[in-house]
Structure 1
């Protein structure tokens, strides 16, 4: 029996919370750079959405996680899939993201040509932006 067979049918959501040193400053940047919409804010924690894809930002408070800027390294990356990765990345870079990580280009993948590239946001998070999500089964 597969694990997913044991999970009740529900509106399961998996999300990410990005550690940032200053939530209001980060909200301003994500709104400008990614077109994020503010869902809510409690000051040190906020919910945002980019084209309906929700995520959180929060200020670590000595509770077991920390900002990549403070750590000097990131331990996760944000994966975005959209119709036009070139435009998404270009907008982020124009707002101050570091676009030298991985320029948007075509990659050969099991599901066909996949256009993807990335950037590092001003808070130290790595974002990879592609045109088609590989989050389904493909014959390899």
Structure 2
């Protein structure tokens, strides 16, 4: 493994069902689960990649203050997934239960759409033109 010589920011998505969330992200966005950690009470925490962009997904842990958007009246964070496959991923996600907030459109200098995944997280999927 090579040493990382740069700074990154990686979101950690807290969800109400880690296994279902990973299945959704795998099918909708072509994600790969690269690591899985088992936790008490049959909960999990995982490292996920979408086109080499890494993020984390884990079950709620109320005793640690880790609550899903369901428990927090929604998520104050939007995730921007920048990919040339935006239209295809958006279509897959909605077919698998994501709710369209704004359909795929071309505006200003982006091709972009906005949706809420089945776990309450907001995704903007697109690419600059």
**Match in the other structure for 1:81:** 82
Q: Unaligned regions of 5+ residues in structure 1, if any?
A: 1-8, 134-140
The structure richer in strand per residue is 2
TM-score for the superposition, normalised by structure 2: 0.85
Give the one of 103, 116, 120 matched to 1:120. Answer: 116
SS in 1 for 2:93: helix
**Match in the other structure for 2:55:** 55
SS in 2 for 1:48: strand
The runs of 4+ residues in structure 1 deviating greater than 3 Å are none
Q: Computing the radius of gyration over CA atoms, which structure comes out larger, 1 or 2?
A: 1
TM-score for the superposition, normalised by structure 1: 0.79
CA-to-aligned-CA distance 1:1-43 (integer Å, 9 cap, x gap)? xxxxxxxx92222100001012112111111111110101113
SS in 2 for 1:42: strand
Deviation for aligned residue 1:94: 1.1
Q: Which has the higher contact order (CA 8 A, sep 6+)?
A: 2
Q: Unaligned regions of 5+ residues in structure 2, if any?
A: 39-43
SS in 2 for 1:66: coil
